[in-house]
Homo-oligomer: A and B are copies of this chain.
Amino acid sequence: MREVAIIGIGQTKFGELWDLSFREIGIQAGLAAVYDANVASEDIEALYVGNMSAGRFIEQEHVAALIADYSGIARDNIPATRVEAAGASGAVAIRQGYFDVASGLHDIVVVGGAEKMTDVPDAQGAAIQDSAADQQWECTFGATFPALHAMIAQRYMHDYGVPREHIASVSVKNHKHGALNPKAQFQKEIKLETVLRSALVAEPLRMFDCAPLSDGGAAVVMCSMDKAWKYTDSPVKILASSQSSDTLALHHRSTITSFGATKAAMRKLTKRTGVDVSQINLAEVHDNYTISELLALEDIGFFPAGQAGKATVDGQTQIGGRVAVNTSGGLKARGDPIGATGVAQIVELVTQLRGEAGKRQVSNAKYGLAQSVGGTGSTVVMHLLGVA
């Protein structure tokens, strides 16, 4: 397969975008990426859109055709395909686009992700998120998506003797990073007490342990490496893509304090690239809940099991630490418009690897790792990017 580069990135501000519809969000992100890449609209040969639940959020399926239409690229009859894997929807879109170009099918492809979550009442939005888990055997019996993650957190604290404050410190760190990102939904630093005293969601998780409901879009332009230099002086290479699955329901796992799919995806990534976790100091991981970031960091191999909380408290995961994790603010502070999230991770890594991250710039990052999760670890998609 061919080498693939990302030559353009775009993102809307994440947040409650009352004045933008779903299609406007998608197009704003897509056009920003296309302008950034310096490609003409007629150069684009295919479109992939990551989206979890436009059907339930705005009663519109078929959203890839919608975006192709309103961005004007449908007039060239290019293929436009939506892909979905709950929270990992944007990441699977990145993956499909990557293999599209890598296989030689197309030379220039746009991958976008978008979600418009605030057109429904908050409780309904939360219920839609539940559909990432097993409706028939988890949600029907009252297990909401936050409740499932709360069980993970409880077990994690019990097994490793981790204090509650360690988990909460993930939120503090990500808000600190988010304060440096002008596209983030929340751009204010918070204190540990803010997390610990916020409204209870599902013991032990509180409001500030949970990513918000968000509107937003993100997009990238991919190009075969050999043509990339024609468009940009700073292409970023996709070194590898891996995707793994696990049972949909938590109760079918042998452990819930570790995601087997993350471990499997990381093994594949290491095998394909030869890059060891010790060489990586920049990562965007799926912190839909604070506990999720700790599991991610341990399953990837940055820290031993039960140690990621302590590492977070010690500043090892903030900018300047051992590995800068979620420099964008993560799902917690940057926001989590579900379908856009996996794409936004890539946008952040490219921004960093280009050296364009301003106040949140990580120095000496040769690689950028993205880990995106669908459900409670049922789908895990990982990408490793590198300076070309």
A residues with a Cβ closer than 8 A to B are: 1, 21, 23, 52-53, 55-56, 58-62, 64-66, 68-70, 74-75, 77-86, 92, 95-96, 99-100, 102-105, 128, 131-136, 139, 243-249, 252, 260-261, 264-265, 374-375, 378-379
Asked if A105 and B96 sit within 8 Å, CB to CB, the answer is no
Query: Of B53, B81, B100, B245, which contacts A85 at CB under 8 A?
Result: B81
Inter-chain CA distance A167–B80, complex, in Å, is: 30
Specify the chain B residue showing the minimal Cβ separation from A56.
B55
- With known contacts A55-B53, A83-B81, A65–B375 Cβ distance under 8 A: yes
Asked if A69 and B1 sit within 8 Å, CB to CB, the answer is no
Query: Of B58, B74, B105, B265, which contacts A246 at CB under 8 A?
Result: B74
- With known contacts A62-B86, A62-B378, A79–B132 Cβ distance under 8 A: no
Inter-chain CA distance A58–B137, complex, in Å, is: 13
Query: Of B104, B245, B248, which contacts A78 at CB under 8 A?
Result: B245
What 8 pairs between A and B have smallest CB-CB spacing? A103-B103, A79-B243, A77-B264, A77-B244, A62-B86, A65-B378, A61-B131, A60-B135
- Report the minimal beta-carbon distance from A308 to chain B, rounded to whole angstroms: 22
Asked if B131 and A65 sit within 8 Å, CB to CB, the answer is no
Asked if B245 and A79 sit within 8 Å, CB to CB, the answer is yes
Asked if A245 and B80 sit within 8 Å, CB to CB, the answer is yes
Oligomer: number of copies = 2
- Can you show 12 pairs from A to B with CB atoms below 8 A apart? A55-B56, A61-B132, A65-B374, A68-B245, A74-B247, A77-B244, A77-B245, A77-B246, A77-B261, A80-B245, A81-B84, A103-B104
Asked if B65 and A61 sit within 8 Å, CB to CB, the answer is no
Query: Of B100, B102, B103, B245, which contacts A74 at CB under 8 A?
Result: B245
Residues of B contacting A104 in the complex (Cβ-Cβ under 8 angstroms)? 1, 103
Specify the chain B residue showing the minimal Cβ separation from A67.
B248
Query: Of B80, B84, B375, which contacts A379 at CB under 8 A?
Result: B80
Residues of B contacting A134 in the complex (Cβ-Cβ under 8 angstroms)? 60, 66
Inter-chain CA distance A52–B55, complex, in Å, is: 9
Asked if A248 and B128 sit within 8 Å, CB to CB, the answer is no
Specify the chain B residue showing the minimal Cβ separation from A133.
B62
Asked if A65 and B86 sit within 8 Å, CB to CB, the answer is yes
Asked if A64 and B85 sit within 8 Å, CB to CB, the answer is yes
Asked if A62 and B77 sit within 8 Å, CB to CB, the answer is no
- Report the minimal beta-carbon distance from A258 to chain B, rounded to whole angstroms: 13
Specify the chain B residue showing the minimal Cβ separation from A105.
B99
- Report the minimal beta-carbon distance from A67 to chain B, rounded to whole angstroms: 9
Inter-chain CA distance A157–B70, complex, in Å, is: 30
Residues of B contacting A75 in the complex (Cβ-Cβ under 8 angstroms)? 247
Asked if A62 and B244 sit within 8 Å, CB to CB, the answer is no
Query: Of B66, B86, B128, B244, which contacts A79 at CB under 8 A?
Result: B244
